[in-house]
Amino acid sequence: MGVEIRVEGLTKAFGRQVIWQDVSLTIPAGEISVLLGPSGTGKSVFLKTLVGLLKPDRGHIWIGDRDLPNLPEAQLYETRKLFGVLFQDGALFGSMNIFDNIAFPLREHTKKSESEVKRIVLEKMDLVGLIGAEHKLPGEISGGMKKRAGLARALVLDPEILLVDEPDSGLDPVRTAFLNQVFIDLNAQIGATFLIVTHDINTARTVPDNIGLLYQRHLAMFGPREMLLSSEEPVVRQFLNASKIGPIGMSEEKDESELEAEAKMGLDSGMLPPIPPQQMPSNGLVRRGMHAPGAWCAAHGVTPPPGSFIDELGRNWIEEWPRYVASMSAGAGAAAPGGYPPGGGHYPGDMPPGQPGAGARY
């Protein structure tokens, strides 16, 4: 099962340049969280600080009862074994084939026999759809395969926390959808705590249980997915609409004169788009971190954007959800949002059931 990460008052600067300051949040155990933010806001720096590759100037990172920045080197080394990390480019060793790249952590950190190493590596390669590519070098495979190889390597030590840095960078939308489904299915299977840094709005809107937004050297917001997707904060509206109008500028934030000029002209970043149904695991079962559609909005008296929680077949998942959960509990074959009837069949135009990326159109 996953482990909770509790961050308190975290601050990091390089010389006089403050990257972010006083960041506090709790990443729930076993759930999928996504971190958004304009380019240059220190999202990758945040991931490296969480795993102890960079030391913060102030603050705490609690992994259970261990405060990562203040651990002795030996304890830090042991605590890092709880983490798996997928770097932006996969970070594969160019001179090693895919099998040896994935096997590297096992050979480095365990005393497992080669037969056991082979079993684990092939199991993880099968999990990410790489069987048959064992003997290829990183230079001989596509960008998407490199990402999946990096993911398999991050998984071989069975981490309780998985940090993923911009998995969509350099990938086309179809392969991004495939990879998103892999993350969802992995979370359902292994129960690890996921933190994914991304710029992909579709990923942020359909995959996670929680969303955070870094902006102006601080954490602007972190909480359940519906909280951010229904927020009227100008920076959130601008980011979700990919609009030029709003507080975010080319160099992160606009100055006051630019914002005043936009206000005088009556410019607006637009209405928030509808909140889509959350993407389901390929097997159609409900993950631990998922909640009933619309539950957060209802509990906090928030009216979601018009058209929210309605899928492409016109089904309203606020109404469908109780029936769906009841049918799954009874073992009946109900069609999940973004998924498939457990008893077979699929939606028109979709990939065959059970394939990675199934239901990713949501």
Residue 199, CA distances (Å) to 37, 80, 247 in order: 7, 26, 17
Q: 219-247 pLDDT, tens per residue?
A: 988 999 999 999 888 777 777 777 676 66
Is the pLDDT at 289 greater than 70? The verdict is yes
Taking the C-alpha atoms of residue 230 and residue 297, their distance in angstroms, rounded to an integer, is 8
pLDDT band at 249 (very low <50, low <70, confident <90, very high): low
Mean pLDDT across the chain: 83
Tokens of 3: 């482990």
Would you call 19 helix, strand, or coil by DSSP?
Answer: strand
Percent of the chain's residues with pLDDT above 70: 83
Task: Write out pLDDT tens, residues 299-339.
Answer: 999 999 999 999 888 899 999 999 888 887 776 555 667 55
Q: Write the Ramachandran bin of 347: left for phi over 0, alpha for psi from -120 to 50, otherwise beta.
A: beta
Rounded to whole angstroms, the Cα distance separating 204 from 211 reads 7
Model pLDDT, residue 254 = 47
DSSP conformational letter for 71:
S
Report the pLDDT value the prediction gives residue 285, as an integer from 0 to 100.
Answer: 86
- Ordered by start, the domain boundaries in the chain are 5-224, 232-264, 272-362
| Number of other CB atoms surrounding residue 301 within 10 Å | 6
Q: Work out the average pLDDT over 204-225.
A: 91
Confidence band, pLDDT 50/70/90 cuts, at residue 348: very low
Whether the CB-CB separation of 221 and 36 falls below 8 Å is answered with no
- Is the CB of residue 102 less than 8 Å from the CB of residue 121? yes
In one letter, which amino acid is 54? L
Region 138-161: mean pLDDT is 88
Backbone angles phi, psi at 63, to 5 degrees: -110, 100
Question: Is 2's pLDDT higher than 90?
Answer: no
Residue 287: its pLDDT value, please? 92
Quote helix, strand, coil % in the chain, to nearest 5: 35, 20, 45
- Tell me the mean pLDDT in the region 85-110: 88
**Least confident piece of the model among 18-22, 191-195, 252-256:** 252-256
Beta-ladder partners of 249: 252
Residue 295: is its pLDDT beyond 90? yes
Q: What is the pTM of this model?
A: 0.84
Which CATH code, of 1.10.10.10, 3.40.50.300, 1.10.357.20, 3.50.50.60, is assigned to 5-224?
3.40.50.300
